């Protein structure tokens, strides 16, 4: 077996050059081409601390990858965690209008929303709350806290 490999890679013949070129080609193709999945990142909540019953301002980046792309038809869902940063529950959904999405693979669209979705008025005071965002088409599941914001404070009414 060793002689076989040694003969292929050390030889000066056409076979060794062909194999070397083939290995270089596959290294280039598979080493530089990658399809990234769509994702939502950098979720931030401004105006913290937030009062229960008030609206929140949420900023995030929507990053396109291969396949389905974020568009103005995408429906986003906001999720609020409990005071310990777990157990996310939906606050509601929204979509965008007039946003110019970067529809190239791995194109980043930075979007700031002033949502009309209020923190429930019966939310208890706490400092470990987080907001996560999910989407449909392309699907990005934010219901378990993927790419959630940093912890912030909610003050009860």
**Rounded distance, CA 153 to CA 8, Å?**
66
Given 1.20.1300, 2.60.40, 1.10.3470, 2.30.30, which CATH number is that of 39-155?
Answer: 2.60.40
- pLDDT for 33: 43
Q: How far from 39 is each of 35, 107, 128, CA to CA, in Å?
A: 12, 11, 23
* Number of Cβ within a 10 Å radius of residue 77: 20
Cis link prior to 137 (omega < 30° from 0)? no
pTM score > 0.85 for this model?
no
The series of mean pLDDT values per 10 residues for the chain, 157 residues long, is: 50 58 53 60 86 89 80 92 96 87 76 76 96 91 93 94
Domain residue limits, the chain: 2-32, 39-155
How many residues in the chain?
157
Q: How far from 11 is each of 19, 24, 42, 55, 91, CA to CA, in Å?
A: 11, 17, 53, 72, 67
- pLDDT for 137: 85
Among positive and negative, which fits the CA dihedral 52, 113, 47, 90? Answer: positive
Q: How far from 71 is each of 18, 96, 103, 113, 134, CA to CA, in Å?
A: 45, 8, 8, 15, 14
Q: How far from 67 is each of 34, 61, 70, 82, 103, CA to CA, in Å?
A: 12, 18, 10, 33, 11
- pLDDT for 34: 44
Q: How far is CA 140 from the centre of its chain?
A: 7
């Amino acid at each position: 077996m060793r002689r076989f490999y040694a003969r292929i890679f050390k030889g000066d013949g056409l076979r060794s050059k062909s194999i070397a070129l083939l290995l270089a080609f596959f290294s280039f193709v598979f080493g530089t081409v990658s399809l990234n999945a769509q994702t939502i990142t950098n979720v931030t909540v401004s105006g913290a601390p937030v009062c229960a019953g008030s609206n929140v301002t949420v900023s995030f980046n929507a990053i396109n990858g291969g396949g389905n792309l974020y568009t103005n038809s995408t429906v986003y869902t906001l999720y609020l965690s409990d005071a310990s940063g777990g157990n996310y529950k939906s606050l509601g959904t929204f979509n965008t209008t007039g946003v110019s999405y970067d529809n190239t693979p791995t194109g980043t669209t930075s979007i700031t929303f002033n949502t009309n979705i209020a923190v429930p008025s019966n939310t208890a005071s706490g400092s470990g709350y987080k907001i996560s965002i999910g989407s449909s088409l392309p699907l990005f599941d934010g219901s378990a806290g993927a790419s959630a914001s940093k912890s912030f404070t909610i003050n009860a009414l």
